Amino acid sequence: MTIIEPAAGPVLPPDVDERTFRAAIAAFGDAIGDENVHVDDEHVRPYDDRFPVTDGDEFRPSAVLWPGSTEDVQAIVRIANEHLIPLHAFSTGMNLGYGGSAPRVAGSVLLHLGKRMNRVLEIDERLAYAVVEPGVDYASLYRAVQDSGAKLMIDPTELDWGSPLGNTLDHGVGYTPYAAHAMWRCGMEVVLADGSVLRTGMGGMPNSDAWHLYQGGLGPSVEGLFEQSNYGICTRMGIQLMPAPPESLSFVISFENEEDLAAIMDTTLPLRIGMAPLQAAPIVRNVTFDAACVSTRDHWYDGEGPLPREAYQAMMTELDLGYWNVYGTCYGPRWLIDRYIEMIRDAYLAIPGARFDTTETVTPGTPRAELLAARDQLNNGIPNRHSSAVFDWFPNAGHFFYAPVSSPSGEDAAAQFADTKRISDSYEIDYLAQFIIGLREMHHICLPLFDTADPDSRARTLEMTRELIRAGAERGYGIYRAHNVLADQVADTYSFGDHAQRRFNERIKDALDPNGILNPGKSGIWPARLRGRGL
């Protein structure tokens, strides 16, 4: 990795000299207004990754642009082509743990789409969908739906500041029955690298009313090509929404032992795969993650080294939780909820030591009740930022994500837990995690936390995360979404057929973006111009 000496002026992109850069900035100003083009530190530094990986300039942008329309984005892309300026497009830039709004390539010009393009363009209650621009976040989509009076439920992510459009493009998931965001996106408008605009699916017909109703159309489905890629800039998206259920009831089930994980998973799959009685993706959280949502680390332990056994015991006792805690929600008329709850309760209570509560039986005022209430909100489409308390687990805490996907079997969960816990312990880094169980896969979301102000802590945590990726890949566990600094390593693990996926991605990249100006390096996809240059 090249370390560029901190310079007085902006960090310049590869192959671009100061003169060319200045000319491009002037042209951007002419196109979208000087007030929407910024090169000064005061405007650019706030876009640094809030959880920085390095002290250097490897992920430092040169400027930021605030387009106000699809036409602005088209104009920007044309200018970027002319001057070979790499653009780093993002929606709200809150991709914390995955690089925030920092670009992969130093000197890139940030394209903060959400700054001004933040309208909810449409809410259709009867057909149950919304159309959003990149800057709409979960909190504002929730408010817009409420204000419209539509009886629809959105599917928020863990934290309310993310963008539904951006999260969907990054394969995010939520916790209501709709959960897998890419399943419910329908109809995109995309600015391509040549400045032209593509409308996908039925949007190819100038007068279809089914753009946001049917994912097909004629010919190949291309929306997936714009997810986790750098093939185009999505400026609007249809998102289908679930009609709000008449009632719901949330539950928490606690399990005493680390070893219970396999039984929890094997109990979960048959309840989940038929979409009932587990109608939404349940989560299986470890007590450290729950503790970090309601307390700080020094409350449990203030010595050196990893959390001792007594600290875990204290968390479980004081918070009234198990080592593993399953959270979920049932939806429908009350009689149906009651039947589903019985089925779920009976299945999990077969695991010795399990304890089951609903929002109606949990003791009010306890941390157990607080944690369940936060899940109950999310699972009912009400965004919050309860889990952001993990950023205060210790002073200056930031994190990476290590998020492998696998079968939701007890065996795979136990193997992942054993590897991850062993490696975390060896680096003396806390294991905070939650499994999210989809219909036939699970995401194991681990948060390797580090002290953002301590270069040694950052370096050690990065090294550990790289080791987790290697160890997981040996067993066939693939990362589903990668931080800037990890993307190349993760892309390398998708190696079947002598890296057939990489070659396929590169061919598409070079065909659509011959000058390599759009988000170069995203997901390990490099354009020909910048390939193999050790950037």
Which of the residues are catalytic? Answer: 98, 480-481
Residues 255, 325: contact at Cβ < 8 Å? yes
Q: How far is the CB of 346 from ligand EUG (least distance, A)?
A: 28
Q: Which is nearer to ligand EUG, 200 or 387 (CB)?
A: 387
Q: How far is the CB of 171 from ligand EUG (least distance, A)?
A: 8
DSSP state of 478: E
Q: How far is the CB of 261 from ligand EUG (least distance, A)?
A: 17
Tokens 């609903």 sit on residue? 358
In angstroms, the CA 321 to CA 394 distance is 21
Going 456 to 462 to 464 to 470, the CA torsion angle's sign is negative
Q: Which is nearer to ligand EUG, 120 or 159 (CB)?
A: 159
**Is 403 a binder of ligand EUG (CB under 6 A)?**
yes
- Contacts with ligand EUG: how many residues (CB under 6 A)? 11
Q: Which is nearer to ligand EUG, 129 or 400 (CB)?
A: 400
Q: Which is nearer to ligand EUG, 249 or 446 (CB)?
A: 446
Strand order in the sheet with 247-255: 355-358, 247-255, 324-332, 283-286, 433-437, 442-446, 404-406, 478-479
Q: Which is nearer to ligand EUG, 173 or 337 (CB)?
A: 173
Sole binder of ligand EUG in the list 133, 137, 158, 189 (CB under 6 A) = 158
**Is 401 a binder of ligand EUG (CB under 6 A)?**
yes
Strand bridging mode 247-255 / 232-240: unpaired
Residues 437-452 as b/e (b if ≥16 CB within 10 A, e otherwise) read bbeeebbbbbbbbbbb
What the block records as the tokens of 208 is 């279809």
Residues 231, 312: contact at Cβ < 8 Å? no
Q: How far is the CB of 481 from ligand EUG (least distance, A)?
A: 5
> Helix (H, G, I), strand (E, B), or coil: what is residue 103?
coil
**Mask 473-512, x = binds ligand EUG (CB under 6 A)?**
--------x-------------------------------
Q: What residues pair up with 283 in beta bridges, in sequence order?
A: 327, 436
Q: Which is nearer to ligand EUG, 80 or 165 (CB)?
A: 165
Q: Which is nearer to ligand EUG, 148 or 388 (CB)?
A: 388
Sole binder of ligand EUG in the list 131, 150, 173, 464 (CB under 6 A) = 173
In angstroms, the CA 223 to CA 229 distance is 11
In angstroms, the CA 308 to CA 76 distance is 54
In angstroms, the CA 488 to CA 461 distance is 17
- How much is the CA Rg of the chain, to the nearest whole Å? 23
**Mask 87-116, x = binds ligand EUG (CB under 6 A)?**
------------------------------
Q: How far is the CB of 155 from ligand EUG (least distance, A)?
A: 12
Tokens 């048959």 sit on residue? 270
- In SS3 terms, 453-492 reads as CCHHHHHHHHHHHHHHHHHHHHCCCEECCCCCCCHHHHHH
**Is 469 a binder of ligand EUG (CB under 6 A)?**
no
Q: How far is the CB of 436 from ligand EUG (least distance, A)?
A: 5
Per CB under 6 A, contacts with ligand EUG among 340-399 are 387
Q: Which helix (H) or strand (E) holds 138?
A: helix 138-148
Q: How far is the CB of 96 from ligand EUG (least distance, A)?
A: 9
In angstroms, the CA 7 to CA 26 distance is 21
Q: Which is nearer to ligand EUG, 228 or 387 (CB)?
A: 387
Whole-Å CA distances, 227 to 118, 172, 299, 385: 20, 10, 41, 25
Per CB under 6 A, contacts with ligand EUG among 428-447 are 434, 436, 443, 445
What is the maximum alpha-carbon separation in the chain? 71
Q: How far is the CB of 138 from ligand EUG (least distance, A)?
A: 13
Tokens 């399943």 sit on residue? 183
**Is 281 a binder of ligand EUG (CB under 6 A)?**
no
**Is 452 a binder of ligand EUG (CB under 6 A)?**
no
Residues 44, 106: contact at Cβ < 8 Å? no
Q: What is the contact surface with ligand EUG in residues (CB under 6 A)?
A: 158, 172-173, 387, 401, 403, 434, 436, 443, 445, 481
